[in-house]
C-alpha cells in the first residue's frame, strides 16, 4: 500500500500503511536500524510433534469457525500473491534475493501446495500437521538476532468527505502535481504545502489539486499516515483514495513527540490516547502535525480495496507489511503474536494467535527484520484494534521442503 504504516507508529514514532496507516502502517516509531549483517531469515527445525496443539505454530482456528471464519479470505490472498509472482517486478526481485534457496519458483510452488491444503482441510489440526510435515520454516532473526519481532497494525479508515470545500469540510487531500518528478530536493515540507493550521489554501503551491475535503484536520492527517481511506461523500455516494506519491522525508511519530513533551503518559501512548489529546487540545495540532515533514499525494480508487506495495489487494488479517529489502515479497508466512479482538460487551481483549499470512505490503517506517505491520481491515473497529496493537512475537516464512 506503500502506506506510511502507522498504528503504533503515530504513537511512539515507529510507524504504517498501524490507527495510524490504508494500504501501507505507523504509531510506535522505531529507532534507525543497524545495517543487516547476516541473512534476515534462518532455517529452523520445529519438528513434527508439538503439544498442546493449540499453542503450536500453524494452529489457525480462525479459518474453521462456523461463523466468521475467513478461509475464503486466505485463499483470495494466496491467489493475489500468485498473480504478483507472474509479474516482471517479481521476477526481477527474486533474481536478486539474497537467500539463494528462496526462489520465485519455490515460493510459487509453496503457495500452490498450501492453497490445496487450505481448501481441503477440515480441522485446524489437520492443516497444522500437513504444514509442519511438508514445509520448511525460515524464522526472521528479528532485531536482536534471537527472533524477536515487533508487531504493529494498520487499517483503512472510513471518513465523511466532500468533493467541494464548504464551511464544514475545509481540510483537503491532494492529487499528485503533474510536475512532481521535476521538483528539486529537498522537497517542500508539510508546513510549506498546507500551512501551520492545514488551511494554507489558495496560498499553497498545490492550489487546484484538491481532491476531497475533510471535516476534521486529524482525519486528513490520518489518511496521510494510513496511505488510503474509504470516503462517504456528502452527495450520498462512496469512493476511496490510495497512495500514489510522497515527498522525500522520513517518518516522524507525533505520539513520540507528545510523550517526550510530557503530554502523554506511557499508558496513553497509543492511537486512542493521541486522538483524545488532540480533541481536548486542538490548537496543539498546529505544533505537532507539521513536524512530520513528509506529504502524501493520492489518487481516487473508486471503492477498490487497499492495495499493497506489490500491487495486489490487501486482505484483512491475511496481509502483512515488512521491509521488502529483506523479506520475500508475496511469500507465505505464519505469525505468532498477541493481538486485540472483540470480547464480551465489545471490549477488546488480547489473544495470542498463530495466523497464516501473505507478505504483500511495506511502509516507510517498517525497517529491518524485526518489524511487521499487520493489516486489520476497514473502519472503526479495525482502527480501534490497530491503535492499541504493539506487541512482540515471531514470524516464520514457509517454503516447501527441497
Closest CA relative to residue 81, chosen from 325, 322, 310: 310
Mean pLDDT, residues 71-86? 97
Which sign, positive or negative, has the C-alpha torsion 77, 78, 83, 89?
A: positive
C-alpha cell at 369: 527484520
Q: For residues 145 and 261, what is the distance between their CA atoms, to the nearest angstrom?
A: 33
The pLDDT value given to residue 120: 95
Model confidence at 50, pLDDT cuts 50, 70, 90, reads confident
Model confidence at 48, pLDDT cuts 50, 70, 90, reads low
DSSP readout, 158-194?
A: EEEEESS--SS--EEEEBPPTTGGG--SSPPPHHHHH
The pLDDT value given to residue 3: 47
What is the CA 292 to chain-centroid distance, rounded? 18
Which sign, positive or negative, has the C-alpha torsion 196, 198, 201, 207?
A: positive
**DSSP secondary structure letter of residue 20:** -
Model confidence at 31, pLDDT cuts 50, 70, 90, reads very low
pLDDT tens sequence across 244-297: 999 999 989 899 999 999 999 988 888 889 999 999 999 999 999 999 999 999
Mean pLDDT, residues 210-215? 98
**DSSP secondary structure letter of residue 283:** G
Which one is predicted more confidently, 16 or 366?
Answer: 366
Mean pLDDT, residues 136-143? 96
> Lowest-confidence range among 53-67, 71-85, 136-150, 216-230?
53-67
Q: What mean pLDDT, rounded, does the chain reach?
A: 89
Considering the entire predicted model, what is its pTM?
Answer: 0.80
Amino acid at each position: 500500500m506503500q502506506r506510511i504504516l502507522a498504528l503504533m507508529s503515530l504513537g511512539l514514532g515507529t510507524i504504517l500503511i498501524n490507527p495510524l496507516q490504508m494500504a501501507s502502517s505507523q504509531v510506535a516509531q522505531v529507532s534507525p536500524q543497524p545495517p543487516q549483517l547476516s541473512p534476515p531469515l534462518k532455517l529452523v527445525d520445529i519438528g513434527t510433534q508439538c503439544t498442546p496443539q493449540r499453542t503450536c505454530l500453524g494452529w489457525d482456528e480462525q479459518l474453521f469457525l462456523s461463523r466468521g471464519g475467513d478461509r475464503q479470505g486466505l485463499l483470495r490472498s494466496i491467489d493475489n500473491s500468485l498473480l504478483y509472482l507472474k509479474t516482471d517486478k517479481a521476477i526481477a526481485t527474486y533474481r536478486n534475493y539474497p537467500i539463494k534457496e528462496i526462489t520465485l519458483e519455490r515460493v510459487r510452488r509453496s503457495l500452490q501446495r498450501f492453497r490445496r491444503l487450505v481448501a481441503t482441510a477440515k480441522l485446524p489440526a489437520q492443516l497444522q500437521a500437513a504444514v509442519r510435515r511438508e514445509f520448511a520454516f525460515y524464522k526472521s532473526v528479528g532485531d536482536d538476532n534471537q527472533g524477536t519481532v515487533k508487531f504493529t497494525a494498520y487499517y483503512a479508515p472510513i471518513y465523511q468527505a466532500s468533493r467541494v470545500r464548504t464551511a464544514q469540510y475545509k481540510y483537503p487531500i491532494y492529487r499528485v502535481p503533474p510536475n512532481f518528478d521535476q521538483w528539486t530536493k529537498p522537497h517542500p515540507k508539510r508546513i510549506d504545502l498546507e500551512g501551520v493550521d492545514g488551511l494554507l489554501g489558495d496560498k499553497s503551491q498545490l492550489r487546484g489539486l484538491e481532491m476531497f475535503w475533510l471535516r476534521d484536520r486529524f482525519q486528513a492527517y490520518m489518511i496521510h499516515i494510513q496511505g488510503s481511506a474509504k470516503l462517504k461523500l456528502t452527495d450520498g455516494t462512496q469512493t476511496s483514495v490510495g497512495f500514489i506519491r510522497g515527498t522525500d522525508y522520513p517518518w516522524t511519530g507525533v505520539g513520540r513527540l507528545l510523550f517526550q513533551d510530557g503530554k502523554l503518559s506511557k499508558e496513553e501512548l497509543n492511537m486512542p490516547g493521541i486522538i483524545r489529546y488532540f480533541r481536548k487540545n486542538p490548537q496543539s495540532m498546529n505544533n505537532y502535525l507539521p513536524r512530520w515533514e513528509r506529504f502524501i499525494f493520492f489518487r481516487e480508487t473508486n471503492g477498490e480495496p487497499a492495495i499493497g506495495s506489490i500491487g495486489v489487494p490487501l486482505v484483512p488479517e491475511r496481509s502483512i507489511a515488512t521491509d521488502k529489502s529483506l523479506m520475500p515479497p508475496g511469500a507465505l508466512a505464519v505469525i505468532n503474536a498477541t493481538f486485540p479482538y472483540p470480547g464480551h460487551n465489545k471490549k477488546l481483549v488480547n489473544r495470542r494467535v498463530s495466523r497464516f499470512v501473505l507478505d504483500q505490503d511495506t511502509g516507510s517506517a517498517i525497517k529491518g527484520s524485526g518489524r511487521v505491520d499487520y493489516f486489520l481491515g476497514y473502519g472503526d473497529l479495525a482502527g480501534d484494534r490497530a491503535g492499541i496493537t504493539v506487541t512482540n512475537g515471531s514470524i516464520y516464512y514457509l517454503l516447501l521442503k527441497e
